[in-house]
Amino acid sequence: MGSPEFDEKSFNPEVVHHVEVSSKEVDTGAALVGEAGDIDPAEAIRVRKKIDRHILPMMCVLDCVQFMDKITLGNSAILGITTATHLTTNQYNWLGTIFFLSHLVSEYPQNLALQKYPVGKWMSLNTVVWSVALCCHAACTNFAGLFICRAILGLCEGSITAGFMIVSSMFYTRNEQTLRYGYWFSMNGMAQIVCGFISFGCLHIQTTNFEPWQWLMIITGVITFINGVCFFFLFPDSPTTAWFLTSEERALAVARIKENQTGVENKHFKKEQMIEALLDPKTWMFALFAAFENVPNSLNNQRSLIVSSFGFTNLQTTLLGCVDGVIEITTILTGVNIAARVPNSRAYVGTLFFIPNIVGVIVINTLPWSDKVGLLFGQWLTGVGITAFVLSLSWVSSVTAGHTKRITTNAIMLCAFCIGNAAAPFMWQEKYKPRNHVPWTIIGICYAICMMLLLAIRYHLNYENQLRDLEPHDDQYDDMYIERVNEDGTIDEIKVEKEFLDLTDKQNRDFRYVL
């Protein structure tokens, strides 16, 4: 027998004496989870490993190529793009800013589209458009052309991280999410390594009327296009429809995430959940953190220029950029493994990993300019704190329930991410070179604010948990049913567990926030 379908009608109250609920209101996994029965731990692990094998590699590769494409501008700076397109310092900064401004504008529409359309297909479409825009960089001869191409990249970027956040919450438990976020986000570091070697190779390409920076754009664009096409055909949209799972495994995959109390997804937009997200204090605390944490992200476009200013050659700079990637991979994987193994430690781990960043800022601001090796190590230290942002992404997904509320909260947090990234490039003014004391000081202050915000979020969530522990049990949603029409025409009564009613974390008083 195939997978059951929902009947859009509610129960007849004359026949069934339960609280009736429309199938549109509940989670897509509501009817499926009843088929799983008692969960065999060994079977649950087997299904999780099967999910890992089929979706984690694709998520890692896509995150790698999209971040690689994002930093092509920084790598192109030492491959001749500024000279070839006659860019001023201010125009170069604007190319970094417009990416995140267009990303900001697209974030909420992208999140709505991710709720309405199949997640995997929508991300694939954006990736293909992204790849074409990246290749078009090579045809640009001035600031205006590059400006348009970077804006298109920003519009498409809005679907990737938001999509990954949704997919991770669909397939994995809270604790598993922390590790999986680390796995795919650490590919940002891999992207720096791969892009560094590609840039190094491009410097050795000698072609008439086609410069190394143009080759970089074409090569990375083609890689992204191939990845986008493969993603369309191979990446699942939901555990309820995953092609690589049997019907029994789909039911088990949904039942596995019951402990999250966030369900799988709901394709219907709920205005009241959006309003709740806007009024929830933790939404804006996470948003503030994302904004301040990503002001230092402007280093992605400045890193090659800064390292070059220390006195390294272009060839040395491209290869040294690979070290940044190694540091990012190592620190992210270390941080998420600690957070996954030590209960309720996300805020503490994130705060701890900001300390090397502040040390790095102090080193860069105080060492003699002649000590280029020391300055380089100081810059490398400032890459450790990215771990905290990875933890915050998994954290906000784990503490937000209700599909519309979750996509709204994700959108707000990623909009704040864009604001921090968009404003930051203008710190790097010509008048501050070569020491750049002003931007480095601002970055250090942002790190300190982020540490305080993480601890404030933890205090707020812990206080809310304590209040709920004192409340009596809320039985409002304990007896909810829907109809399920099987393929043979028979109708089953399916009790919908509270975890699959698409309730928000405020509505479900049994929900407890992870810390």
DSSP labels for 387-405? HHHHHHHHHHHHT--SHHH
The DSSP H or E segment spanning 491 is strand 491-495
User: In 21-173, which ranges are continuous DSSP H helix?
Assistant: 30-33, 41-70, 72-76, 81-84, 89-116, 119-136, 143-157, 160-171
Residue with token string 């090569």: 219
Confidence grade of residue 5 (pLDDT, cut at 50, 70, 90): very low
Distances (CA, A) of 341 to 120, 248, 259, 398, 439: 30, 30, 17, 16, 36
The SS3 call for residue 210 is strand
Higher-scoring residue by pLDDT: 17, 502? 502
pLDDT tens readout for residues 132-158: 999 999 998 899 999 999 999 888 888
d(CA 505, CA 511): 6
Task: State the average pLDDT for the chain.
Answer: 82
pLDDT tens readout for residues 85-133: 888 888 888 888 888 888 888 888 888 888 888 888 999 999 999 999 9
Higher-scoring residue by pLDDT: 143, 70? 143
Q: Is the peptide bond before 425 cis (omega within 30 degrees of 0)?
A: no
Range with the poorest average pLDDT among 87-96, 164-173, 428-437, 493-502? 493-502
Say what the pTM is.
Answer: 0.78
Other Cβ atoms less than 10 A from the Cβ of 276: the count is 21
Confidence grade of residue 16 (pLDDT, cut at 50, 70, 90): very low
Percent of the chain whose pLDDT exceeds 90: 24
pLDDT tens readout for residues 244-271: 888 888 888 888 877 666 655 566 778 8
Res 236 pLDDT > 70: yes
Give the pLDDT confidence score for residue 2 in this predicted structure.
Answer: 41
Give the pLDDT confidence score for residue 347 in this predicted structure.
Answer: 94
